[in-house]
Amino acid sequence: MIKFDVRFFALLFFVFLSAGLCAQKVNVSIKVTNKKNEPVPFASFTVIKRNDTLVFQQKNSDSTGIARFMLEKDVQYIIRITSVNYLPLEKGVTATPNHNFFSFIAQDLPKTLQGVTVTSTRPLMRQEDDKTIVDPEPIAAASTNAYEILEKTPGIFDQDGNVYLSSMTPAAIYINGREMKMSRDDVVTMLKNLPPNAISKIEILRTPSAKFDASGTAGGIVNIILKKGVKPGMTGSATAGLQQGHYGNQFFSFNLNNNDGKKSSFVNLNYSRRNSFEEIITNRFFAPDSELSQKAFTKYPGTAYFGGFGLNNSLPKNWDIDYGGSISYNNFNNNTENESAIKKISSDDTITNNLNRVNNNGYALNIRNGFEFTKKLDTIGSEWDNDVFHNFTENNSTQAFSTLYYSPFFIKTGGDGTSDNKRNFFTVKSDLKLKLKRRITVETGVKSSLLGFKSVTNYFNESGGVRTKDIGRTNTFKYNENINSFYAQGSKTIGKNIIVKIGARLENTNMEGRQIIPSDTSFTIHRTDIFPYIYFSKKVMSIAGYELRSYLVYRRTITRPAYDQLNPFPRYIDQYLSEVGNPTLRPQFTTNYEANISVDERPLVAIGYNDTKDIFTNVIYQADSSRSVAYRTYDNLGKNKELYLRGLGVLPPGKKYFFVLGAQYNHNFYEGLYESKPLSFKKGSWTFFTYHQLKLDKRSQITLNGFIRIKGQQQFYELSNFGALNTSINRQFMKQKQLIITLSMNDIFYTNQNDFSIQQGSVKANGNRKSDTQRFGINIRYNFGIRKKEETNDMFNVEPPERN
């Protein structure tokens, strides 16, 4: 299989190389700087053919202030540049093979700007090197929190509380480039506490470089960048909204930003009250003639409070200091009613039936603080970045459960318990990037992280009025983790069209877990691994002035078990099912190969292959000889080979309407052992997604987005077809368009529900899952302060320039 992959990528390389020979235009680089000769990142460039103003190109500059275009030789072009904090700039150029680099200086905006409005377009999605950058503003208008923004972003799929990009391995969630090191449930809670208008951009890294952690990034990284008061002057907004489904959500958020040119600060406040439900119907066959049928209905009411704050200051000698912190508090009072019955299949006789009630009442507290010190070493992008970050999470809950048996005897049993989990995560890292001569970039850095986790649970059973300690579920578990890493990578631009980046990351892992109650057991892991990374990019050709560029990526990653997957404490679900960690889990290693093509910095098509060794995944095992009691856990099963294809198509947009249509195919092949018996499981699934936007007039627009997954998969569960279609319409009011009202409808046809089935080892089950996804919403936002820049949000940044 490896030989096949090498031949495959070699073939792609020579196809791209031969195709690139057909290109005849001049590759032009345009750089914009300020008076201090500092690059102006993310400026909007419009390049117009002087003798035919209907022919134009639009792009944004990268982080070094450079935008690249394919222009016709010896033809005159008009260059228009706009950026926040700077006056509009217009220049004329003529490109030749010997004169293909232009540099312009943008003038600062005056301190008073009465009557001045700068208008530019900003793409929803664009490609910069090895990451896709998403502007969340169009989606945020119809969302109540950050998690909903991820749900609606084209190409990002959420399922079972995880976020997926290219593969069936969950992606890691970063905030401001920092790993959170949180459990799946904690990440979901954190994202639901973030107000939607607090997000500046979302970076999608499907194949992260050696600069990023090798651990936990096999499925890629979703990096959420929060706003930090980048607009000059004092600006802000107040937003209120509600959503109504079977139950309702309400929220209010307020943000204030201040920027005087040297110092900037921000404050984000958010209050939300949420309520939803989930209904799961399950039929499990645990004996040749016995079936366990269950219908569980869970209600999830909760209240969340969030506060975020930050300060950025420019210091002498090109130093910048950035502080960002946040605190969130979420309380919940979840209630589950589960009707269960065991029947004989042949006679349909009921052996036993009962009603199980579970209440989980508690809170989750999260406090984050980070300091970043950055020194700019030159004006072309070299910098030294240092970061210190601390994340504290506390989860405290009380559980009460009872079971009322109706037959064969009328009996009532029950119990209660408390759970207290505390986690401290501390990281310190230093990154150095040097821009050298001959278009060489060198990056290197070190990082050290410390994680301390402690879980204390106390459970009691009650029967016939007698309360006794539940030894099986009373548990005290401690886990400590230290990961030290070093990376180095270098990139070089060869000729005009080829970019090569090669790097490696060394990670030293030290893990120690100890269970004190009910018995004293422990485990330790000490290992050092190296993870190579190779990136190759080449321009293939130009089509109608748009650059077609190919990419080849090779990387190796590791997925270490998280503390909740290692904790042996059994968590009570009902009298027939519990969840338990596995302290003997081993890490899994994944080798990834990907080839992709982008058009004018927009992703177009990709093919990739993941080869995973010693894979661990969620499994269900029978807990007793009768097989009526089961438990969910994690186990190393063997290996998995995954092939994925991804495509994105765009209708060339006009001034008012455009749409995007994407598709992704995943095929997984598992081989190994399940319950000590040979395992062979193959599954392929398709996912289609789309995004539409129609401008009704200068103040109104309507959007439509959705997805459908065909023959879906969740670990070893096979899922029926499911999907969702969402729409929103917004209207701007008042003279300066400060007031924006948005109406939205999520899951219009209530199709985001699925049937599931599993048949592995001794476990055979099927069922249905649905939740409170069909919702109508209204959001009202008021913007205040001096607005220096008004931005329109077109997905692919191709709106024609203004005509004189």
- Rounded to 5 degrees, φ, ψ at 803 are -105, 140
Class of residue 603 by CB neighbours under 10 A (exposed 0-12, middle 13-18, buried 19+): buried
Q: CA–CA separation, 228 vs 244, rounded Å?
A: 32
Q: What is the pLDDT of residue 625?
A: 59
**CATH code of 69's domain:** 2.60.40.1120
The CB-side HSE value for 54 (13 A sphere, CA atoms) comes to 1
Structural contact between residues 135 and 149, judged by C-beta atoms closer than 8 angstroms = no
Q: What is the pLDDT of residue 5?
A: 47
Q: What is the pLDDT of residue 170?
A: 83
Q: What is the pLDDT of residue 665?
A: 94
Q: CA–CA separation, 257 vs 30, rounded Å?
A: 31
Q: Residue 452 corresponds to which tokens in the numbers above? A: 């301390």
Domain contains 803: no
For 152-166, 417-431, 578-592, which range has the lowest pLDDT when averaged over its residues?
A: 152-166
Q: What is the mean pLDDT of the chain?
A: 83
The pLDDT-based confidence of 544 (bands split at 50, 70, 90) is low
Domain contains 580: yes
Please check the confidence at residue 189 and state whether its pLDDT lies above 90. no
Per-residue model confidence as pLDDT tens digits over 481-511: 999 999 999 999 888 788 999 999 999 999 8
Structural contact between residues 60 and 18, judged by C-beta atoms closer than 8 angstroms = no
Please check the confidence at residue 448 and state whether its pLDDT lies above 60. yes
Q: What are the residues facing 640 on neighbouring strands?
A: 612, 670
Q: Residue 463 corresponds to which tokens in the numbers above? A: 């029967």
Higher pLDDT, 713 or 371: 371
Please check the confidence at residue 396 and state whether its pLDDT lies above 70. yes
Per-residue model confidence as pLDDT tens digits over 605-664: 999 999 999 988 888 887 765 667 888 888 998 899 999 999 988 765 556 887 888 999
Torsion of CA 108, 110, 114, 118, to 10 degrees: -10
**Do 93 and 161 lie in a common domain?**
no
Cis-peptide into 196, omega within 30 deg: no
Say whether 798 sits in a helix, a strand or coil.
Answer: coil
Q: What is the mean pLDDT of residues 596-602?
A: 78
Say whether 568 sits in a helix, a strand or coil.
Answer: coil
**Do 87 and 133 lie in a common domain?**
no
**Do 97 and 145 lie in a common domain?**
no
Residues 6+ apart with CB under 8 A from 49: 55, 56, 72, 75, 76, 77
- Structural domain for 668, as ranges: 125-792
**Do 136 and 79 lie in a common domain?**
no
Question: Among 51, 77, 108, which residue terminates a domain?
Answer: 108
Question: Among 108, 134, 169, which residue terminates a domain?
Answer: 108
Please check the confidence at residue 231 and state whether its pLDDT lies above 70. no
Say whether 734 sits in a helix, a strand or coil.
Answer: coil
Torsion of CA 80, 81, 82, 88, to 10 degrees: -70
Question: Among 78, 108, 138, which residue terminates a domain?
Answer: 108
Domain contains 12: no
**Do 65 and 171 lie in a common domain?**
no
| The residue type at 13 | F
Per-residue model confidence as pLDDT tens digits over 168-187: 788 888 888 888 777 777 77
| The residue type at 786 | I
DSSP-derived letter for residue 227 is: P
Per-residue model confidence as pLDDT tens digits over 58-77: 788 887 788 888 888 878 88
**Do 361 and 451 lie in a common domain?**
yes
Measured CA to CA in angstroms, residue 44 lies from 40, 83, 121, 200 at distances of 10, 6, 7, 17
Domain contains 800: no
DSSP-derived letter for residue 86 is: B
Class of residue 655 by CB neighbours under 10 A (exposed 0-12, middle 13-18, buried 19+): exposed
Please check the confidence at residue 108 and state whether its pLDDT lies above 60. yes
Please give the order of strands across the beta sheet that includes 125-128: 125-128, 131-134, 199-205, 221-226, 172-175, 178-179
The pLDDT-based confidence of 9 (bands split at 50, 70, 90) is very low
**Do 135 and 85 lie in a common domain?**
no
Residues 6+ apart with CB under 8 A from 544: none
Q: What is the mean pLDDT of residues 443-450?
A: 96
Maximum pairwise Cα distance, the chain: 94
Q: What is the mean pLDDT of residues 699-708?
A: 90
For 87-91, 98-102, 176-180, 545-549, which range has the lowest pLDDT when averaged over its residues?
A: 545-549
Please check the confidence at residue 523 and state whether its pLDDT lies above 70. yes
Domain contains 114: no
Q: CA–CA separation, 211 vs 486, rounded Å?
A: 9
**Do 151 and 236 lie in a common domain?**
yes
**Going by DSSP bridges, is the β-strand pair 302-315/263-274 parallel, antiparallel, or unpaired?**
antiparallel
In 345-410, which ranges are E strands? 350-376, 383-407
- Rounded to 5 degrees, φ, ψ at 788 are -85, -20
Nearest to 567 by CA among 168, 159, 183, 219: 183
Q: CA–CA separation, 59 vs 44, rounded Å?
A: 6
Structural contact between residues 529 and 564, judged by C-beta atoms closer than 8 angstroms = no
**Do 129 and 101 lie in a common domain?**
no
**Do 451 and 567 lie in a common domain?**
yes
**Do 93 and 189 lie in a common domain?**
no
Structural contact between residues 393 and 426, judged by C-beta atoms closer than 8 angstroms = no
Domain contains 482: yes
Q: What is the mean pLDDT of residues 735-755?
A: 91
Residues 6+ apart with CB under 8 A from 331: 302, 303, 362, 363, 364
Nearest to 223 by CA among 197, 200, 208, 205: 205
Domain contains 11: no
**CATH code of 750's domain:** 2.40.170.20
Structural contact between residues 633 and 579, judged by C-beta atoms closer than 8 angstroms = yes
**Do 686 and 600 lie in a common domain?**
yes
Nearest to 65 by CA among 35, 38, 96, 40: 40
Q: CA–CA separation, 617 vs 713, rounded Å?
A: 13
Q: Residue 545 corresponds to which tokens in the numbers above? A: 């002035």
DSSP-derived letter for residue 181 is: -
Measured CA to CA in angstroms, residue 163 lies from 187, 201, 803 at distances of 10, 17, 43
Domain contains 1: no
Nearest to 275 by CA among 684, 775, 797, 794: 775
Please count the structural domains in the chain.
2
Query: Per this entry, what is the length of the chain?
Result: 804
Q: Residue 396 corresponds to which tokens in the numbers above? A: 């405290």
Structural contact between residues 323 and 370, judged by C-beta atoms closer than 8 angstroms = yes
Q: What is the pLDDT of residue 788?
A: 46
| The residue type at 594 | E
The pLDDT-based confidence of 709 (bands split at 50, 70, 90) is very high
